[in-house]
Amino acid sequence: MLLHAGPVQALYDRGFLRYMQSADHEIVRMIYFAIRDQDWQTMTGSITHERIQTTLNSFSISYTYHVNEDNIRMEWQVSIVGEPDGTITFDIDGVAQSNFLKNRAGFCVLHPLTGVLGQACRIEHPDGSFSYGTFPTYISPHQPFLNVKAMEWPVGGQGLARLEFSGDIFETEDQRNWSDASFKTYCTPQSIPFPAQVNQGDQIKQQVIFRLVKPIAPVVKTAQPTNQITVQKQLVPFPAIGIGLNLQETELAPEELTFLRSVGFQHARADIFLNQQNAPEVLQQAIEQSHDLQLPLELALYFGEAPATEVGNLVRLLQQHAIKLARILLFNADSRYTTDVLLQTTLPVLRTAFPGVALGGGSDANFTELNRNPYNFSATDFVSFALNPQVHATDDLTLVDNVAAQADAVKSARHLVNKIPVLVSPVTLKARFNEATSGEWPQPAPADPRQPTDFIATWTLASLKYLAEAGATAITYFETHGASGIIQNNTPFAVAHLFKFILHYQPKQVIPTCYAKPLEVSSLLLIKENAACFILANHTAAPQSVSIPENFTVESHTIIGSAVGQSSFLNYLPGQHLTLAAHQIIALDGTWPVDFLKK
């Protein structure tokens, strides 16, 4: 539901505010509140007694928000009021109905990237003092703003926005560290120990007030239609694409093996924990699967407390087999990132045993672990980090909303490591492990039930677009088979068909493309000798109309996946609109002007 507070417009979505904007400038991405347990899991809630009153330039919302999950019970009374002058006041008053541990409870405000990156910000502190900072262009490893009571920053040239917080101390982090396309100002500083005890009857009462201190000038409209895909004058090498091995499921069925061989992947990743007793058996299984798939191994090695012994045992095991290695990644098993101490012990042995094999490190968790724990990058041949899109939220809209931040992670990594290649491995829908403060994360990690769907195929196209356009050298996606894979019970998922189409096309480069409505449609422009392919994906459950550049000559088309509904492509002429059905992916084969980059 769209709401208006004078010059400010916001989307009301299941109790929270999204996409707050004025004069077509997005100012705040989202205001919401949440409870995160001791394992950083976000508790789901339900709404009752919801009342919504609106006018043309004001609104008033109230509801009760119930949390009842994993022995965490809490009830919040919520009020959101938008006034004609653009002021929006968001109040929460929660009472715990059980005893529980929490890492966070209360407000979070998300700031968009567009129009914010590089902007100065005035921070007011609880003691009445103030300081100045900047929303960083490259991903900041640590919080750019601390001890926040209020903040002001310019929007749209002459405009000035303000947020005021009460009920706790707030600070701001760069969420691109976890592949979210936003900065987040949140309550309870990380310097305060967590998890914290919440007792039955405890009250958590907070308020966020948004104001427009100065009005925002309207965006200057261009003659170009908003559904026109635009193309940058740049060629970027297409990355090598690999698949993760699933070493915990049953063996691949013959039909599954035949299909996976046909896709065209360039490597297969296997995770080997050398500090575990079953490492030889797991390694043997990985070697057999990679041999069956006819793919070189991307070996991710995890070392324990005796890396010198472990690397020696590994070399002896590998030298017993005729094995083709794509590369080797080196991590500490406990931290999941690479250190100079580990490299000093393992690199000389591996370079002697496997000359010519690329050796690298980085983070097996998120980009943040690489960003916060740099090592001597010049010692390795490449750097790698993993990512998943659900560190903070899990809904479809947020997955699409955040995918563009994957490009920021690659660009920031390239800036951090200078000239060595940047790899992304693996990309998974859900976290493979949790930095939990209690117990063990279940193994195998739980799968996302959306994995087989056309929606996830569209998300994967967007992920590949942003990672490739940003200059990733290689990317490893998902797993071969099973619930987190690309095929299960002999049935390929929609994303499997997407990979097969792209890899059979054998692209050499990509040309970056832009679209004004990235939450609705993503586009990937593939280039090879004397040919080009535009792949378009509709992220939504409604038809979407787009227009491709007139100088792209279409010769044929392919509908990828299993999305129902008809495309209007058969009637498409250059300069006209192409309609994509719900969650549909269409590939347009054709040609691109050879002199495009010379103009």
Residue by residue, DSSP assigns 256-279 as HHHHHHHH--S-EEEEEETTSTTH
Give the mean pLDDT of 539-550: 92
> 144 by DSSP, 3-state: which?
coil
- Rounded Cα–Cα distance for residues 152 and 211 (Å): 9
Q: pLDDT confidence of 70, banded at 50, 70, 90?
A: confident
In the predicted structure, residue 570 carries a pLDDT above the cut 60:
no
What is the percent of the chain with per-residue pLDDT over 90, rounded to a whole number? 83
pLDDT attached to residue 243: 98
How would you classify the pairing of strands 100-111 and 474-479?
unpaired
Pairs from 483-487 (Cβ < 8 Å, separation ≥ 24)? 483/447, 483/451, 484/246, 484/428, 484/429, 484/430, 484/444, 484/445, 484/447, 484/448, 484/451, 485/246, 485/249, 485/451, 486/243, 486/260, 486/263, 487/256, 487/259, 487/260
Q: Is the pLDDT of residue 556 over 90?
A: no
Predicted confidence (pLDDT) at residue 91 exceeds the cutoff of 70:
yes
Secondary structure E strands in 287-432: 297-303, 325-332, 358-363, 382-387, 422-427
Q: State the average pLDDT for the chain.
A: 92
Residue 444: band (very low, low, confident or very high) from pLDDT cuts 50, 70, 90: low
Domain 513-598 has CATH 3.30.1300.10: no
Identity of the amino acid at 243:
I
Contact 188, 33 (CB under 8 A): no
Per-residue pLDDT averaged across 124-142, rounded? 96
Question: Which of 177-186, 399-408, 568-577 is the least confident region?
Answer: 568-577
439 vs 447, residue with greater confidence = 447
Residue 23: HSE in the Cβ half-sphere, 13 Å Cα cutoff: 16
3-state secondary structure of 126: coil
Indicate whether 158 pLDDT > 90. Answer: no
Residue 338 pLDDT exceeds 90: yes
- Higher local confidence (pLDDT), 454 or 570: 454
CATH 2.70.98.10, the chain: domain bounds? 2-214
Band of residue 367 on the pLDDT scale cut at 50, 70, 90: very high
Q: What's the longest Cα–Cα distance across the chain? A: 75
Q: Do the beta carbons of residue 503 and residue 475 sit within 8 Å? A: no
pTM of structure: 0.92
How high is the pLDDT of residue 211?
96
Q: Are 507 and 528 in contact (CB under 8 A)?
A: yes
Coil, strand, or helix at residue 449? coil
Burial class for 209, CB neighbours closer than 10 Å (0-12, 13-18, 19+): middle
Q: State how far the Cα of 422 lies from the Cα of 363, in Å rounded to an integer.
A: 12
| pLDDT band at residue 562 using 50, 70 and 90 as cut-offs | low
Locus of tokens 């129902």:
564
- Supply the pLDDT for residue 442: 52
Q: Mean pLDDT throughout 117-123?
A: 95
Helix (H, G, I), strand (E, B) or coil at 34: strand
Residue 222 has pLDDT above 80, yes or no: no
Look at the alpha carbons of 287, 291, 293, 297 in this order and tell me if their dihedral is positive or negative.
positive
Domain span(s) for CATH 3.20.20.80 in the chain? 239-492
For residue 568, the model assigns a pLDDT of 54
Strand-strand pairing, 150-155 and 120-124? antiparallel
How sure is the predictor about 37, in pLDDT bands with cuts at 50, 70 and 90?
very high
pLDDT tens-digit readout, 183-215: 999 999 999 999 999 999 999 999 999 999 998
As a whole number, mean pLDDT of residues 290-307 equals: 97
Identify the band that residue 220 occupies on the pLDDT scale cut at 50, 70 and 90.
Answer: low
Q: For residues 366 and 384, what is the distance between their CA atoms, to the nearest angstrom?
A: 10
Average pLDDT over residues 63-74: 95
Per the CB < 8 A criterion, the answer to whether 94 and 74 are in contact is: yes
Facing residues of 204 across strands? 94
- d(CA 89, CA 83) in angstroms, rounded, equals 9
Identity of the highest mean pLDDT range in 32-46, 84-98, 308-322:
84-98
Domain at 239-492, CATH from 3.40.1080.10, 3.40.50.740, 3.40.190.80, 3.20.20.80: 3.20.20.80
Burial (0-12, 13-18, 19+ Cβ within 10 Å), 129: exposed
Specify the long-range contacts of residues 564-569, CB closer than 8 Å, at least 24 apart.
Answer: none
Whether the predicted pLDDT of 61 surpasses 50: yes
Question: Where in the sequence of the chain do the CATH 2.60.40.1180 domains occur?
Answer: 513-598
Q: Report yes or no: 170 and 184 within 8 Å, Cβ to Cβ.
A: no
Through-space distance between the first and last CA atoms of the chain, rounded to whole angstroms:
45
Banded pLDDT at 564 (limits 50, 70, 90): very low
CATH topology assigned to domain 2-214: Beta-galactosidase; Chain A, domain 5 (2.70.98)
3-class DSSP state of 219: coil
> How far is it, in rounded angstroms, from Cα 405 to Cα 431?
17
Across 391-419, average pLDDT:
93
Q: Which range, 244-253, 405-414, 563-572, has the best average confidence (pLDDT)?
A: 405-414
